[in-house]
Chain A
């Protein structure tokens, strides 16, 4: 089975590269080479934002429902998992360490934290989704925005998670966690999109009435997309909280939600690779702009937010459908590039007949009359 072998090789290669990057970001580095703390932090944020963007893309891009409450679900994931780690996880980890070893205990406890963050965020998605997904367009957007703010304000007033003073979280997230979960998010969303469920979701985006007429329970599928998306936002929140080691509600305002929307709009709504691309650009671009040079006594880095905004406007004016539109970058591009010459050779095999003519023949070869006679 060459395809399964290929898949296995792909998985192994991916994992090895994640381990290598992880080693580079670690304090010891890899064979003496390493990335600085600043670059590491950006890399981690890229990974977390990839999870956020790809998951939001499932609602906004694939299902076509405009939600601007992603930061709320991220906050739910972050705080619920942090609560677990602080009040239970640490104790469990200590008692587990004795029997199975420290690092294994850490992995187990952190996995539980991730699950808790995902499940609580998914439940919150369900709770918010059921009433609000009866609304469309602008109304849905406003309601999700409102819910996200409610979530944030509630957390702000919960003393058990620190309230307004913030919530210190013990934890150490390395790049291996972020990278692996980023890949898992991309794969899960991709597998969903390319399935019967995905077609149902896309049909809702394309024409809700026709989707219903084809037997798609549109409300159920909208809520489903919302719940899955919220779960992954929760995972991103878990990683964010345990990586930053300090949670404060200003990190989860609607500005964060808009940032994620900018990522998917920039990359191209409905495109998974577009969302990844958008997440990378939007995370790195502001940091790169900090390094703008000083020319003639004028510091361009001071204008970085202006330049950032102007760049976004230029990109959106030139490519309103997003950089990738609805297309995907993937291995199939390489495959197509490799296959194309072979196809040409075959067609061109008959000498003396122009290629265009042959192509025309193969197209018209398909039966037209026989169908009528049947």
Chain B
């Protein structure tokens, strides 16, 4: 390994790299649905026995925005998340991503459509290195098959090299490349969170779902996270939906916010509007 010149070389090529290229095309693309929303839920309801966890929820996330879903503990935020990612199937109602219905699809099918997520309690692959963690997420775009792998065909070599370079570039952007051969879960907490985001980005999603990204972070880490979320959106041309109950993060980063309580949507608007909405204040503080 030649020490000094390498990082600068990587940075120099970065401007015309795969990643920026992908971002450019993503940004120029018109939303497939045509009605100006990338993710839309229509009267989405899920019941667990007698409990209505999510009640007739309407959501409408526009392409390229940072959308916040907030609510007090037990409001059903994570249930919504699980509905969107196919962990649960709605009892009634529709979920559409880019105009196509995704309710009833399995998690991996939704992921392959271009919805990627992180988890509230970090779920990295412990037995893998940092690089392997990220490369696993390239599965969606792998052009190699089992035959290529067993017989080590040229296509396998090309595919593997491309993914490796792509992942290293991603890691470099998030300043994690120096840890690439370390175990994913041996990183510091903040870096693990970032790595999880990198892994989600490696699936090259159109929509990134962040489940309480600020959980367990101290105030300065939270500030870094705010910057990071903005950067990710701008650089990769993504839409970001985040579930959070940390008000500082929500108000600092989200462009539109929807508030849920007892599974029902009680408010939707700009951060300033939400902050002063009496119903929201009541939900958070009680009467």
Residues of A within 8 A of B (CB): 188, 191-192, 194-200, 202-203, 205-207, 209-218, 224, 270, 326, 362-363, 365-368, 370-372, 374
Contact = CB atoms under 8 A, between A and B. Distances in A.
Given A195-B160, A224-B146, A270-B127, A213 B112 contact: no
Interface of B: 3-4, 7, 11, 85, 87, 106-108, 111-112, 116-117, 119, 123-128, 132, 135-140, 142, 144, 146, 148-152, 156, 159-160, 163, 172-175, 177-178, 199-200, 203, 227, 231, 235
A203 B7 contact: no
Contact of B107 (A205, A213, A367): A213
Nearest to A347: B3
A209 B123 contact: yes
Contact of A206 (B127, B139, B235): B127
Nearest to A64: B127
Given A202-B132, A210-B123, A212-B106, 11 more contacts: A196-B142, A197-B149, A203-B125, A206-B125, A206-B126, A207-B126, A213-B108, A213-B119, A215-B111, A218-B108, A363-B178
A199 B135 contact: yes
Contacts of A217: 106, 108
Contacts of B159: 196
A200 B119 CA distance: 19
Contact of A202 (B11, B127, B142, B144): B127
Nearest to A192: B149
A210 B125 contact: yes
B149 A191 contact: yes
Nearest to A218: B108
B149 A198 contact: yes
A199 B87 CA distance: 22
Q: Is the interface of A mostly helix, strand, loop or mixed?
A: helix
Nearest to B159: A196
Contacts of A216: 108, 136, 139
Nearest to B86: A212
Contacts of B144: 195-196
Given A202-B127, A207-B125, A214-B111, A368 B139 contact: no
Contacts of A194: 149
B136 A365 contact: no
Contacts of A215: 108, 111-112, 137, 139-140, 203
Contact of A213 (B116, B152, B178): B116
A270 B124 CA distance: 18
Contacts, number: 120
Q: Give the 3 A-B CB pairs with smallest separation, nearest first.
A: A195-B149, A206-B125, A215-B111
B128 A202 contact: yes
Contacts of A362: 3
B126 to A, nearest CB: 6
B161 to A, nearest CB: 12
B146 A326 contact: no
B124 A210 contact: yes
A92 to B, nearest CB: 29
A74 B85 CA distance: 40
B256 to A, nearest CB: 24
A107 B227 CA distance: 67
Contacts of B175: 366-368, 371
A192 B108 CA distance: 21
Contacts of B126: 206-207
B149 A196 contact: yes
Interface centre among A194, A218, A326, A371, by most B CB within 10 Å? A371
A151 B7 CA distance: 59
Contacts of A191: 149-152
A365 B3 contact: yes
A205 B149 CA distance: 20
B241 to A, nearest CB: 14
Nearest to A205: B127
A194 B156 CA distance: 11
A356 to B, nearest CB: 15
Given A371-B173, A371-B174, A212 B107 contact: yes
Contacts of B227: 372
A83 B119 CA distance: 53
A244 to B, nearest CB: 29
Given A195-B144, A202-B125, A215-B139, A366 B178 contact: yes
Contacts of B136: 199-200, 202-203, 211, 214, 216
Contacts of A196: 138-139, 142, 144, 149, 159-160, 163
B150 A207 contact: no
A374 B199 CA distance: 20
B64 to A, nearest CB: 19
B208 to A, nearest CB: 12
Contacts of B125: 202-203, 206-207, 210-211
5 contacts: A191-B150, A202-B125, A215-B112, A366-B178, A367-B11
Contacts of A211: 108, 125, 136
Contacts of B111: 212-215
Contacts of B231: 374
